[in-house]
Amino acid sequence: GTTNEPMTITLTKTALSLPSLKLRDMKSSVDNKSPRQATHLKTKAKTHALMEDRFAQIETENRILLEKMSHIMRNKGGVNNKNESAIYAHSLNKDRRKRELQRITKQNQQILKRIQNAQPTYDHLAWEEKAEANDRILSNICEFKTKSLRQETLLDRYDINMECCDELYR
């Protein structure tokens, strides 16, 4: 032993309490906070859109109901057993559909005008001239002179047509 017993006791208590003090004062290394919420989830655009659609539907129904109530008030509130449902049966989006149809028709007219005014990009006369030039080159190259393929097909067509005519006149 030591000669100073109280000092030993104090040092022992301090040594034993030091880890618990360090544990108490230690900052956590694990983040226990809730995660940040994404901004697109906070706005809830889909929910707002659905609510707007529902509100628009309610407004439309309220307007129709108001029209019916005003009709009843104008007719002195009497019981009416006639079927006047045709008065309220008009389509609510008839004008919108009509405008859409007019827009589409106008676009179609513009497309048709552009197509009709467009200059052709293929020149069949130039093709014909080029084919004849190729036939001349081919006939100059060939060892045995033959009719051009196009001339043969035209003659074959002529022969077929003549055969059909002969059969008709027999």
For the stretch 130-147, pLDDT in tens is 999 999 898 888 877 766
Q: Which of 12-26, 42-56, 78-92, 155-169 has the highest mean pLDDT?
A: 42-56
pLDDT digits (tens, 9 = 90+) for 50-79: 999 999 999 999 999 999 888 888 887 666
CA pair distance 53, 57, nearest whole angstrom: 6
Q: Is 168 left (phi over 0), alpha (psi -120 to 50) or beta?
A: alpha
CA neighbours within 13 Å on the CB side: how many for 1?
7
Q: Is the pLDDT of residue 169 over 80?
A: no
CA pair distance 29, 18, nearest whole angstrom: 20
**Which residues, at least 6 apart from 67, have a Cβ–Cβ distance to it below 8 Å?**
88
Retrieve residue 155's tokens.
């003659």
Write down the pTM of the prediction.
0.27
Long-range contacts of 92-100 (CB under 8 A, 24+ apart): 92/60
pLDDT of the residue at 73: 81
Mean pLDDT in the chain? 80
At 17, the pLDDT band (50, 70, 90 cuts) reads confident
Nearest Cα to Cα of residue 16 among 26, 4, 25, 8: 8
Cα-based distances in Å from 115 to 104, 107, 128: 16, 12, 25
**Which residues, at least 6 apart from 139, have a Cβ–Cβ distance to it below 8 Å?**
145, 146, 148
At 117, the pLDDT band (50, 70, 90 cuts) reads very high
Query: DSSP character for 34?
Result: P
pLDDT of the residue at 133: 94
Instruction: Please name the residue ranges forming H helices in the chain.
Output: 5-25, 39-43, 45-74, 85-88, 94-117, 124-141, 149-169
Q: Is the pLDDT of residue 80 over 80?
A: no
